[in-house]
Structure 1
Amino acid sequence: MLQSMLLAALLILACTAIHYGALRFATRIVDPAAHPRRCLFISVSLITAAHIIEAAIYASAFWVAVHQIDIGSLQLAQDPTANLYPMDYFYFALVNLTTLGRGDLQPSGHLRFLTGISAFHGFLLITASGGYLLQVMSGKNPFRK
């Protein structure tokens, strides 16, 4: 359990830093008062890229958790004996980070804790992205006074 808690803390720190950096970078290159449509496009593109990178980091962590530190397993609900591929881990990370939770892949052991943390963290990151985009759409430049 300690391993999954430490891994969760590391993931939260790393992905939050990436997300914050993406939002700060977007703020430096947008001026919503002058070009609202272009700024919205740029902001959405950078935020989407950040979320994809974060999902890839979580997918890598899920793979490491299963194959290297053995804190649980991940398997298809319909066929628990089927082999999973890297895209399956990426898909699982995206489903969890977006809090969709489809249930076609099922974690076991302490990987369930990491899965729950990823959903909670994904919700926070999506909320931060939404708040940022609302400010851009209202003509404000986030992070600027």
Structure 2
Amino acid sequence: MITVLLCVALHFEVAIRVSRKLDYAESRLRKRFLILMFAMFGAHVAEIGLFALGIAVLLQLPGTGAITGSEAVTLFDHLYVSSLSYTTLGYADLSPEGPLRLLTSTEGLLGFMLITWSASLTFLQMQQHWAVGGE
């Protein structure tokens, strides 16, 4: 639950700050959208990292599940499973088992919501651009 709250708060802060920056920016459309895309991409990567940290913490506690498909699960594996969950791609070679599945399924739902939020923000910025006649 803490991971969900942190991710939503992070996404909100990045979205608000980048929106305000773009509203007052006198720069050309290309620069504004590069700022938007890289800021939102960075937010998504950070959110995947937060969930990977949550997975790593849970795996240290007894009875919270495991990641199967690899003999030695590393930090890279935590990031990999987290990114598969966040983007709702699904699991292939590595997959969560036990109670850990609750965290990764929650991550999938939240990831979908936050990716959609980023797409909506991008659309709203484009709509503002179209309303003023473009550049």
TM-score range (shorter-chain normalised) is 0.7 to 0.9
Partner secondary structure for residue 139 of structure 1: helix
Letter in 2 for 1:98: T
Deviation at 1:68, TM superposition (A): 3.1
Structure 1 residue ranges (4+ consecutive) displaced by more than 6 angstroms after TM superposition:
none
Provide the aligned C-alpha RMSD in A: 1.7
> Match of 1:98?
87
Which structure 2 residues correspond to residues 1-145 of structure 1 after superposition, within 5 A?
9-31=1-23, 35-68=28-61, 70-76=63-69, 79=70, 82-139=71-128
The percentage of counterpart residues that share the same residue type is 28
Q: Distance in 2 between matches of 1:138 and 1:38?
A: 16
Is contact 1:56–1:90 with CA below 8 Å preserved after alignment?
Answer: yes
Q: Distance in 1 between matches of 2:33 and 2:120?
A: 13
Write 1 or 2 for the structure with the bigger share of helix. 2
* Bigger shift: residues 105-114 or 64-73: 64-73
Is contact 2:81–2:95 with CA below 8 Å preserved after alignment?
Answer: no
Letter in 2 for 1:20: F
What residue ranges of structure 2 are gaps of 5+ in the alignment?
Answer: 130-135
- How many residues in Structure 1 have an aligned counterpart in Structure 2? 128
Letter in 1 for 2:108: A
Larger relative contact order (Cα-Cα within 8 Å, sequence gap ≥ 6): 1
